[in-house]
Amino acid sequence: MATANSFAEKQVAASRQGREKAHAPSGIAVFATVFQVVMLAAHWFLYETWLLFWGPMSVTAQRTLAASAALLSLSFLAATLLAFRYNNAVVRAFYRVAAVWLGALSFFFLAALASWLVYALVIAGAFEFHTRTIVFVTFSMAALISLFGIVNASWTRTLKISVKLPNLPESWRGRTAVLASDLHLGHIHHRGFSKKITRKISELKPDVVFVAGDMFDGTRVNAPELVEPWKYLRAPFGAYFINGNHELFGGGSAFLDAIRAAGIRVLHNEKINLDGLQLVGVPYEHATHAEHFRSVLAKIVVDPASASILLTHAPDHPEIAAEAGIGLQHAGHTHLGQFFPFTWIAKRIYGQFTYGLSRLGPTLFYTSSGAGLWGPPLRIGSQSEIVQIKFE
């Protein structure tokens, strides 16, 4: 019966994967179309706002502004399509510029809205105020905020926390782990960033290292080259990885093979014993659907009487981890939204589990904002981090 059930599950999974692959191209096309329409509308709004507030411009300047707005509106989609097919210095530079502008666009769009709001207040109050001054001030603020976001995103902090893990073996008291997630190695963060993160981890001299998914961004890269610095990372109990959603791009096998070759153990729906500490690893695709996640943890059989750590990519379904008797769950994925308004959106989706240390019943959760970034290399209201965890 067990064999028949297993075969049936594989058939269902294969059928589901087949349907997903069949619908993937059309789904991507729809998303790309909607995204591009939104981008065109946003840039048209910026263009019209600047034109009306700044005042008369020469025909040449106006055409240059219109052409620039049109090209910028197309830049990120074009850069993304190229990044998934090519890996060279030109494509990486183009992708970085387009990604920076995508992040800055959020603040320039808000600046345009603010310009109209200030203008309405000026008219209502019958104040003397030039429209050119309004748009200059609001757009200058947007530029400064974007610059701050770029600088802030480039600084990866080391956060140190302590946790009291239930039923922790005496041998683990005082030992430390380092959690790193969401490096997103690719066209923005390359080998140099990977080397910087491993150096920071090594300086902390951890007993064990956890990598909670999205080591790669999913773009076309030389994966072994990007993770090569991890070969020199030393931790007495090793380094462990579970894949995130970005490792699934392009099949993911090349990414996982590179991670294994760098000496990091990839966990897949399994439990291992680390000197009396249960380490459970469930990859992203097995933890997104509640019932499937519950069945995976049930098959793993976590002993609630012994200390346990669950390594998974996203803080989805925390109640299921608590039901399974997990002592501490480590996750990433949220990035804490990176910058407004996505910081607000992330908190609306994940609530208390969006970032930091939280609790549900006896189970502790730590969600990291990530060491790297996806898309725009900006952070405002969030920080890039690796986390040192001391067990008490």
Q: Is 337 in the same domain as 214?
A: yes
pLDDT (0 to 100) of residue 23:
46
The confidence score (pLDDT) of residue 251 equals: 63
Q: Which residues of the chain have pLDDT under 70?
A: 1-25, 250-252
86 by Cβ neighbours in 10 Å (0-12 / 13-18 / 19+) ranks as: middle
379 shares a domain with 310: yes
In this structure, the answer to whether residues 96 and 178 fall within a common structural domain is no
Residues 121 and 195 grouped into a single domain: no
Q: Say how far apart CA 14 and CA 337 lie, in whole Å.
A: 33
Q: How far apart are CA 213 and CA 180, in angstroms?
A: 9
Residue 292 lies in domain: 157-391
Contact in structure between 87 and 185 (CB atoms under 8 Å): no
pTM of the shown model: 0.86
Say what the pLDDT of residue 25 is.
60
Is the same domain home to 35 and 166? Answer: no
- 3-class SS of residue 46: helix
pLDDT in tens, 233-268: 999 999 999 999 999 986 668 999 999 999 999 999
Q: Are residues 180 and 305 in the same domain?
A: yes
Element (H, E) at 27: helix 2-54
Give the count of domains, the chain.
2
Shared-domain flag, residues 131 and 262: no
Are residue 177 and residue 56 in the same domain, yes or no?
no
